[in-house]
Chains A and B, each alone.
Chain A
Amino acid sequence: MDADPQGSVGLSLTRQSRVLPGFYDLMADPVYPIDRLIVPTRLETLSLVAAGQTSDYELGGGEMGVTLHRVREFLRSVEGKGYEVCIVDTAAGLFGATADVLSASSAVIIPQQAEPLGIRSVPKLMSVLARMRVVNPELSVLGLLLTMMQPGLAESREAAQSLKDILPSELLFQTMIPRDDLFIRASARGLPVGAMENGAGAMAVFDRVRMEVEAKLTAMAQRK
């Protein structure tokens, strides 16, 4: 589900995303039929909910809690339909709809660019997440996932190493997503990167992420 008003997830996959109803239509109208929001894909195990069309939220919807109830209702509904996992892509920042999604979710992954500016903002991010867990004690932090890693750039390597030195290993994904032109070409074609002709290597990277996530979720379930 794309909960980012800019709608990048949908826009990277289909031009139709510009006109599809989605998350923000539901936030604007709590009785919006959910069946009209769920878009099946050619991958039988994957369905999408686009960001939607309503733009009022972007201007006036910054307060946390406004849409929490609707987010929860939506998640209950898709759970009732048998969906196993709902991955929500949220806008950057920890307010508004992002805060509401976090308040209703059971786990969070934090993508973080492997560069000094990104690393400097990690303490603030963790501080806010700690307070968010007061509102939602069920929220498990699966970890920081370093993205756009550039092995050839010393600053990028140092940024990643800094996090490794400071954070517990449980809070940092072992897999790092490298920066690669393939991602740009994939979004230009409207395809997931794993479906590209030379996307097997990328798929292997994300498959490692998938395995880490599964292991963390398993450990989470065992602790409960």
Chain B
Amino acid sequence: MSDSISAWVDKDEMRRLAESLLSRPFGHELDRLEVDFGSQFEGFAREVQAEPTRGSAPVAPTALPPAPAASPVETTSQAAVQPASARPVFSEAEVPAASPKEEVQAAPSSPAVEASSTNPSPSVMRSAVQFLKKAQAEGRAGGVIRSARPTPPPSVSPDAGDEAVSVSSPPVQEARPIHSPFRRVSDIESKVEEAQEPIAAPSHPPISVNKLKRPPAPSGDDPILARVIQFGKWLKGPVGVRNFFVSNSEGKILIDELSNPKLIQVARSLAGASGSGSSGESELGSLHVRIGEDSILEVVPTPSQFGILILGLVVEHPLPEDLIHEIRKGLEEVANARLIRSAARRS
């Protein structure tokens, strides 16, 4: 690797990041949704496997290949049009089901597919060639966009009703129904958005730390859950949190006012991604993600005698760093109250 790059990047770190991008994030268990390709779907085409080429021969220079002597339109259209019915297929039964281990390590099939390996029918090829010629000719003659006129946004006079709106807009083309390889957006809609909104608290910006009343000192004689509940009253009172939960880094719940496992998973994943598993508070930082139009999930990893606790707060606005620090300190005292009490008695 040349000095202009090797001195700037950490190769091992890059490889680690690359591997993480190819695997499922943080062991998140995704719901298995059936991809609906319809009753006519017979299976995926077999791809030609190419050898992986990491660290092999230098990159061959690539330049735009010259237009081939034969009809360029026909050449390219062979690659461009591969109707499903003409592809060689597996039967669905032959597609192996991936084991959990294979999901992480399996490499996708090589992308090198030769156009000549498929054999579309002559009539399909003819119509594809004609279609492409027509599109290219039309494009060169008048550009890509069909509409000759711009389509300004509608202007409506204040007194006019809906009938008065007259807009000239390009004709809308309804696309033909095609089964998409993508999961339906509605199916993968984040459960975060489905979370029941907590009972609306009055809207107010985060309180300034200077004006914040400290939480009541936790009693080491009380069980931890009682201490956390008391702490929660402070969170929802002076701090202005709507709801909260506390879990450990493994997902075991101490208290949960949201009843939303997905939010807890998001919080654990964020805490894990921030590397807050073993670091000191100075590196824990502030983590938050918007979960609704006026809701933020603030994630506060907190060290304690039980390991890292994940405190999740649903708030209206992101909390400032100094307030996060106070909250973290408060939860730390709550969690370690018995240790503190024992230490005080010994001294």
B64 touches A219 (CB 8 A): no
A-B contact pairs, 8 of them (CB 8 A): A39-B147, A44-B173, A68-B290, A104-B185, A122-B9, A166-B9, A194-B136, A195-B144
A212 and B112 CA atoms in complex are apart in Å by: 7
Give A165 to B113 CA distance when docked, in angstroms: 23
Asked whether any CB of chain A lies closer than 8 Å to the CB of B230, the reply is: no
Additional 20 contacts, C-beta under 8 A, given A42-B144, A162-B2, A168-B52: A25-B153, A42-B138, A45-B175, A46-B144, A72-B185, A72-B189, A84-B180, A106-B183, A136-B190, A137-B24, A160-B59, A165-B1, A168-B54, A173-B111, A176-B62, A191-B143, A194-B76, A195-B139, A200-B68, A224-B35
From residue 42 to 69 of chain A, which have CB atoms closer than 8 A to chain B? 42-48, 53, 64-66, 68-69
Q: Chain A residues near B183: list those with CB within 8 A.
A: 106, 138, 224
Does A221 belong to the interface (CB within 8 Å)?
yes
Q: Which residue of A lies closest to B102 (CB)?
A: A223
Kindly identify which residue among B19, B21, B75, B95 contacts A129, using a CB–CB cutoff of 8 Å: B21
Whole-angstrom CA separation of A135 from B245 in the bound complex? 19
Contact indicator A159/B5 (Cβ below 8 Å): yes
CB distance from A158 to the nearest CB of B (A): 4
Q: Which residue of B lies closest to A115 (CB)?
A: B4
Most buried by A among B19, B109, B169, B182: B182
- Name A residues whose Cβ lies closer than 8 Å to a Cβ of B: 13-14, 16, 19-21, 25, 35-36, 38-48, 53, 64-66, 68-69, 72, 75-76, 79, 81-85, 104, 106-107, 116, 119-120, 122-123, 126-127, 129-131, 133-138, 141, 149, 151-152, 155, 157-162, 164-171, 173-174, 176, 178, 180, 182, 189-192, 194-198, 200-205, 207-208, 210-224
The answer on a CB contact under 8 Å between A123 and B139 is no
Chain B positions near chain A (C-beta within 8 angstroms): 1-2, 4-6, 8-11, 13-15, 17-22, 24-26, 28, 30, 32-33, 35, 44-45, 47, 50, 52-56, 58-59, 61-68, 72-73, 75-76, 79-80, 95, 98, 103, 106-113, 115, 131, 135-136, 138-140, 142-147, 149-154, 167, 169-178, 180-186, 188-190, 193, 266, 269-270, 273, 289-290, 292-293
